[in-house]
Amino acid sequence: MRAPNALNSLILQERLRSIGPVGLGAVLVSVLAIGVICAGVLPQWQDVRELRASEADASVQVQRVKRGELKIAVKPEQEALDSLRQQLPGQPQASELIERLYHLASAEHISLARGEYALGIDPKTQLARYQIVLPVRGSYPQIRGFIKGLLKQLPTLVLEDLELQRKRIGDGELNARLRMTLYLSRS
């Protein structure tokens, strides 16, 4: 009598001969396809299930926010920016603030040439910014007093660049070019 392992081996060899090389190739391709499904498709299917569960959870959270049951946490940076917006003068006040700039120049006896003004929106903060390039003529103490007054009376004004030029060494007057930005809220 033959051992059970030898008998199983003979049965397997007989079946493989009956299937033939084409059938054996088909079995190998089927085993390979099952391996690909287990290795590649199954993990992705699990990911899809997890994403659907996350989507359902997010939908529930959105509904709770809409009903007022859940409050959205605001970042401290956002709170600080909102506070700043409330303290800034509004965009409609820009002409009044520019008028104050001309009064300061007059008080310091400075002559102002025609300036360049451009209104834009800061992409990061969404604040209105009024960019001003202003040619100025006066003595150094006059220009310095003018700038000091500007920064004191217009705290939302930022002096970005200052160019001073004297035509001759002995001249008492300077030509200056001020580049400033006036920040405003968009309300």
- Structural domains of the chain in order of their starting residue, each with its CATH number: 1-72 (no CATH), 80-184 (3.30.70.60)
For residue 134, what are the CA distances in angstroms to 61, 139, 140, 158, 165? 52, 16, 16, 13, 14
pTM: 0.53
Average pLDDT, the chain: 81
Q: Is the pLDDT higher at 96 or at 133?
A: 133
Whether the predicted pLDDT of 93 surpasses 60: yes
Please identify which residue in the block is written with the tokens 């199954």. Answer: 42
Say which range, 19-23, 83-87, 103-107, 139-143, has the weakest mean pLDDT.
Answer: 83-87
The whole-number average pLDDT for the span 47-73 is 81
Please name which of 102, 164, 170 lies closest in space to residue 138, comparing C-alpha atoms: 164
Report the distance separating Cα 174 and Cα 163, nearest Å. Answer: 10
The whole-number average pLDDT for the span 26-41 is 80
β-sheet bridge partners, residue 128 = 121, 184
E strands, 95-172, are: 111-112, 116-121, 128-139, 157-165
For residue 83, what are the CA distances in angstroms to 86, 87, 91? 5, 7, 16
